[in-house]
Amino acid sequence: MTPLWRKAFDAIERPLAAGSEAWIQSETFMDLATHSIRIQRKVLSEVQHATERWLHLWGYVSRGDVVRLSNQVASLERQVRELRREADQRERPLLNGHRARPRTPSSRRAQR
């Protein structure tokens, strides 16, 4: 037997669900959702820029500064990895068509 509260809930929920599903699938709703997302992004961007200017006014670092520096560090790390690969390839001369065995860090120290 279904509880009384469940019957009352179903009696209210079913017509509301049908109407809300129809509204959500309408073009009007999609247009409003699209416009509201654009407005929200614009407002958020303006707030972030205003906050960044205010932080810089007081000599503080903003999130944008940290992101830019993180990107620069990541770029430098990629460049260093690439240069290290190039240096390793130049360091190992070809012997009989095969590359020489890579030196281990301990053997490099022993040679110095």
As a whole number of angstroms, the distance between CA 91 and CA 107 comes to: 14
> What integer is the mean pLDDT of 79-105?
75
Tokens representing 83? 């240069």
Closest CA to 73 of 81, 61, 63, 62: 81
Pairwise pLDDT comparison (47 vs 99), residue with the higher score: 47
Per-residue pLDDT tens over the stretch 56-73: 999 999 999 999 999 999
**pLDDT classification of 50: cutoffs 50, 70, 90:** very high
Mean pLDDT along residues 35-44:
98
Question: Looking at residue 55, what is its pLDDT?
Answer: 94
Q: What is the mean pLDDT of the chain?
A: 87
Query: Measured between alpha carbons, how far is 49 from 43 in angstroms, rounded to an integer?
Result: 10
